[in-house]
Structure 1
Amino acid sequence: MDFSHSSRSEAIRSQVFQFMEHYVLPYNAQWHREVAAGRYPLELVNDIKALARWDGLWNLFLPGLRDDEPGTPLSTLDYAPVAETMGRVHWAAEVFNCSAPDTGNMELLHRFATPAQYRDWLAPLLDGEIRSCFAMSEPDVASSDATGIRTSIRRDGGDYVINGRKWFITGALHPNCRLAVVLGVSDEAPDSDPHHRHSMVLVPMDAPGLEIVRDLPVMHYHAPEGHCELVFRNVRVPAANLLGDEGRGFAMAQARLGPGRIHHCMRSIGQCELALELMRERALERRSFGRYLSEQANIGDWIAWSRMEIDQARLLVLHAAWLIDQGRDSEARTAVSAIKVVVAQLQTRVVDRAMQVFGAMGLTPDTPLSYLWTWGRAMRFLDGPDEVHLRSVARSELRRARETRGATARYFTLPGGGAET
C-alpha cells in the first residue's frame, strides 16, 4: 500500500507552500491590521490573487474544470495536501480562489447552471472577480433537519418571489459578494415529499427587498467577510434565476455540502499541524519551576497524542477523498460524515493543548490559537452538527449488520462451554 502523494499533488503542494512563504505570510500582519481597522484588505488580497493566478495556483479544488476554464484542476485526493497547506493561514484560500462558500457555489453552478447563468455568475466566480454566499441556515429551524427550512420561493408569472430569514450566511459582507444562492420552499403543499419541496434560486445581493440585518460574531469573533443574518422581503427575481429544477433544491444542497465538508476538514488538518508546531516550540522555550515545559511528562503526552491523532485523522480524510474520486458515493457520504466529526473535535482538542502550553498568551490575538479554537468549535455545527453525522455513521453500520445478520454466531461459545464447530 502506497501512502505517498502523487508527484503532481506534491509538486503543487510545494508550489503553494513556497507561494505562501513569499506572498502570504509576509503580509499576514498587514491583513490583520486592516481587518482590525474595520477594512477588508481588498487591494492586498487582489494583488496576491493576481500572482497566484499567474502561477497557475487557481481553482485547484474543482476536478471537473475544463480546458477552456481558468485554473489547475486536481482530484479530491490530490487536493487534500494542498488544502492542508492553505489552511495554515485562515485567509489564504481566497488568494487561490479556493475559499468557501465560493467553492461549493462554483461546483453547483458548474453542474446545473444554464448558459446565461454561467455567463452572468459562474464565469466571474471562476475568474475571481466576484464572491458569493450560500443562504441555507435559518434562525427558527434546527440545522440538523434542513427539510424544515421555511423561506418561501413562490412562482408569480415570469418571476420567483422570495420571503424569509437566513442567518450565519458566510461571506455576505465581503465587498465583492454579488450573489446569494438561496434554498427555500417552492412547493407549499403540506403533504408533499419533504425532500422534494425545496428549490434554489440565484439572487443578486443588490436585489430590492434583500437586507443584511446584522453580522453575527462567532464566539465574539467578527469575520471580516461576515456571518450574516439576511432578510428577504418580497425579493423578486426572474424565473430564469432558478438553479436546476424545481423540487431538486434539497438534493442539490446535500451534493454541494459533501465537497465543502471534506475541504473544511483538509484545511483543519493544516491548522492542527500549525497548532502542534506552535506547541512544540513553546514547550522548548518556556520555563516553569526551573524546568522547560518540554521536560514535563504531561506536556510530552500532549505533544505525542496530538501527533498521533492528527495522523489518524489525516488518513481518514485521505480515504474519504479517495472514495469520492472512485465514485463510491454511498461509502463516501459515510466517510465524510465520519471525518466531519473526528476533525472538528480534533481541532478543539489539539488547539486547547497548545493554548494551555502558551498560557494567557494563547487567549490573545498575539497567536492564531484563539481563532483556530473558535473555528474548530464552529465546525461542530457548520455543514451539519456532530449528532447528524454520528447518526449517519451509525445507520451505515446498522445497515451492514442487517445485511450480514447471524454471521457472528460462530464466535459465541455454546452453553456447555464448548465452541461451535
Structure 2
Amino acid sequence: MHFAYDDKTKDLSARLTAFMDEHIYPAESTYWEQVEAAPDVWAPPPVIDGLKEAARSAGLWNLFLPGKDGAGLTNLQYAPLCEILGRSLHLAPVATNCAAPDTGNMEVLHMFGTDEQKEQWLKPLLDGDIRSAFAMTEPRVASSDATNIETGIVRDGDEYVINGRKWYISGAMNPNAAFFILMGKTDPSADRHRQQSMIIVPRDTPGVDVRRGMKVLGYDDRDHGGHAEIDFTDVRVPSSNLIGEEGAGFAIAQARLGPGRIHHCMRLIGIAERSLELMIDRAAERVAFGKPLSDQGVVREWIAESRVRIEQLRLLTFKAAWLMDTVGNKGAHTEIQAIKIAAPSTVEWIVDKAVQVHGAGGLSQDFPVAEWFAQVRTLRFADGPDEVHKNALARHEIRRRTANA
C-alpha cells in the first residue's frame, strides 16, 4: 500500500479544504441561528441550499459514489475527503450530497435498482432534489441481528402489502425525505438469510404513519434529518418497487453497510481532529492553579494520546479502504470490522477529553463537543453494535487459526 495521496486526491483535498474555509465554517453560526428560529423543528435551515449550490459549482458533489454516476473515486481516494467533511458533520456532508442515509440508499439503487427505479428515485437523490431514509431497525426485536426483522412484505397481485413498526429511522423526519428503503420479510419459512427483502416505499403512501421523532441522548439530531418511529399499516406499493429479487434483502443490506461503515469511520476522524484542535485552543486560553491548562501534565497527556490514537485510526481506515479497492469488500471484511470497532470508542475517548478541557462549557450548546459526543456514542450501535462486530471478528480469527493449525 502506498501512503502518499495521488494527484487527484491532492487536488480534491485542497479544493475541499478551501471550500470548508470559505463556505462551511463561516456558515456554522448561521446554521444554528436558523435552527433556533425555525418554525418547523425538522425543516433543513435555508443556509443549506446556498451551500449545495456552492458545492456543485466547485465540483464537490457526490464524492462518495464510484463510477460515472458519482465522482468516480476509489475508497482510498475518498477517505481523506470524507475525513474533511466530518469536521463539520451537520453541514459539510449534506452540502456536498455525501450525507447518510442518502449515501447508502444511492449505493443500493446504483448497484441493485432497475432502470425505472434509478430514474424515479436515484436521479433526484443524485441531484440533491430530495432526501430519503432507510427503514430497518425495529423496537420489538433485537435488530443487531437483522434476521430478527418482523415487518411483513406480502405479495398481493401486482402489489406488496407492508405491515410493521420501525424506529430510529434516520432521515425520516426531514420533510424532504420522499421515500424509504424498507427491509422486511417476504418469506418467513425460507432460510434465515433469504427471508428478507428490500422495497421502496414513497413517504406519501397511505398507511405510512410517522409517529414521532426519536431523541438521541437528548438531541433531536435534526442535522441527520431526525430519527423517526413509523407505523406501516396495510401499506400497498407496486411490485415494481421491490429492489432486486425476493429474499435478497439481507445480502443487499450487507453490500450497503460495508461502505457505510467505513464512511462513518472516515468522518469520525474528522471529528477527532477538530476536537483535538478545540481541546488545544481551550487549554491555551484557560488558567487553573496559576498556569494554563496546556501546561498541566494531565492535559498534555490527553493531547499526546489523542494524536497517537488519531494516527492509528487513520492508518487502519486507509488499509481497509485500500483492501476494499483491491480485493473487494469481502476480502476487507476483517479490516472493516476492526475499524468499525476501533473508531467510535476511540473518538468517543478523544471527544470526552475535549469536553473535560472545556469545563462547564463542554456540556453546553456554546461548543460543538457535547453534541459530537452524543453523535459518536450512537455509532457504537449504528451499522451493527460493537459486540456483534467483535464476535464476528473473533470467530474469523479462531477459524483462521484453526485452519492454519
With the shorter chain as reference, the TM-score category is over 0.9
Residue equivalent to 2:72? 73
Q: Measure the CA separation in 2 of the matches of 1:85 and 1:109.
A: 26
Match of 1:218 among 206, 216, 219: 216
**What does the per-residue CA deviation read over 1:279-318, in whole Å, with 9 as the maximum and x for residues that have no partner?**
1111111110101111111111111100000100110111
Quick check: 2:258–2:329 contact (8 Å CA) kept in 1? no
- List aligned pairs for 1:16-95, cutoff 5 A: 16-38=16-38, 39=40, 40-64=43-67, 66=68, 69=69, 71-91=70-90, 92-95=92-95
**What does the per-residue CA deviation read over 1:295-348, in whole Å, with 9 as the maximum and x for residues that have no partner?**
111111111100000100110111000011013433312211111110000111
Residue equivalent to 2:141? 141
Compute the displacement of 1:188 (Å). Answer: 2.6
**What does the per-residue CA deviation read over 1:358-411, in whole Å, with 9 as the maximum and x for residues that have no partner?**
100000011110011101110000110000111121112111101111xxxxxx
Q: Measure the CA separation in 1 of the matches of 2:303 and 2:384.
A: 30
**What does the per-residue CA deviation read over 1:220-267, in whole Å, with 9 as the maximum and x for residues that have no partner?**
000221111011000000000001010000110111011111001000
Residue equivalent to 1:419? none
Percentage of matched positions with identical amino acids: 48
Q: Measure the CA separation in 1 of the matches of 2:122 and 2:389.
A: 30
Q: Measure the CA separation in 1 of the matches of 2:96 and 2:328.
A: 28
Give SS of 2:3's match.
coil
Quick check: 1:85–1:270 contact (8 Å CA) kept in 2? yes
Larger radius of gyration: 1
Quick check: 1:200–1:249 contact (8 Å CA) kept in 2? yes
Compute the displacement of 1:42 (Å). Answer: 4.3
TM-score of the superposed pair, with normalisation by structure 1: 0.93
Residue equivalent to 1:324? 324
Give SS of 2:332's match.
helix
Report the residue type matching 2:62 in the other structure.
N
Residue equivalent to 2:291? 291
Quick check: 1:59–1:73 contact (8 Å CA) kept in 2? no
Residue equivalent to 2:391? 391
Compute the displacement of 1:143 (Å). Answer: 2.5
Quick check: 1:138–1:166 contact (8 Å CA) kept in 2? yes
- List aligned pairs for 1:338-417, cutoff 5 A: 338-405=338-405
Q: Measure the CA separation in 1 of the matches of 2:392 and 2:326.
A: 21
Q: Measure the CA separation in 1 of the matches of 2:343 and 2:362.
A: 21
Q: Measure the CA separation in 1 of the matches of 2:35 and 2:333.
A: 37
What RMSD in Å do the two structures reach over aligned CA positions? 1.1
Q: Measure the CA separation in 1 of the matches of 2:73 and 2:313.
A: 21
Quick check: 2:34–2:46 contact (8 Å CA) kept in 1? no
Give SS of 2:73's match.
coil
Quick check: 2:34–2:45 contact (8 Å CA) kept in 1? no
- List aligned pairs for 1:213-362, cutoff 5 A: 213-224=211-222, 225-362=225-362
Residue equivalent to 2:159? 159
Report the residue type matching 2:148 in the other structure.
G
Moved more, 4-13 or 377-386: 4-13
Give SS of 2:384's match.
coil
Give SS of 1:255's match.
helix
**What does the per-residue CA deviation read over 1:151-183, in whole Å, with 9 as the maximum and x for residues that have no partner?**
000000110000000010010111211010000
Match of 1:206 among 204, 207, 210: 204
- List aligned pairs for 1:181-192, cutoff 5 A: 181-189=181-189, 192=190
Report the residue type matching 2:187 in the other structure.
D
Compute the displacement of 1:104 (Å). Answer: 0.5
Compute the displacement of 1:144 (Å). Answer: 1.9
Residue equivalent to 2:130? 130
Residue equivalent to 1:100? 100
- 2:200 matched to 1:197? no
Give SS of 1:99's match.
coil
Give SS of 1:327's match.
helix
Compute the displacement of 1:44 (Å). Answer: 1.7
Give SS of 1:253's match.
helix
Quick check: 1:138–1:149 contact (8 Å CA) kept in 2? yes
Report the residue type matching 1:292 in the other structure.
P
Q: Measure the CA separation in 2 of the matches of 1:119 and 1:143.
A: 31
Q: Measure the CA separation in 2 of the matches of 1:80 and 1:156.
A: 44
Structure 1 gaps of 5+ residues are 406-421
Q: Measure the CA separation in 1 of the matches of 2:353 and 2:296.
A: 14
Report the residue type matching 1:203 in the other structure.
V
Q: Measure the CA separation in 2 of the matches of 1:23 and 1:328.
A: 35
Report the residue type matching 2:87 in the other structure.
R
Give SS of 2:358's match.
helix
Quick check: 1:279–1:354 contact (8 Å CA) kept in 2? yes
**What does the per-residue CA deviation read over 1:31-58, in whole Å, with 9 as the maximum and x for residues that have no partner?**
1122223443443211211121121111
Structure 1 ranges of 4+ moved more than 4 A: none
Quick check: 1:16–1:57 contact (8 Å CA) kept in 2? yes
Q: What is the number of equivalent residue pairs in this alignment?
A: 399
Report the residue type matching 2:107 in the other structure.
E
Give SS of 2:64's match.
coil
Quick check: 1:34–1:41 contact (8 Å CA) kept in 2? no
Q: Measure the CA separation in 1 of the matches of 2:102 and 2:276.
A: 29
Compute the displacement of 1:131 (Å). Answer: 0.6
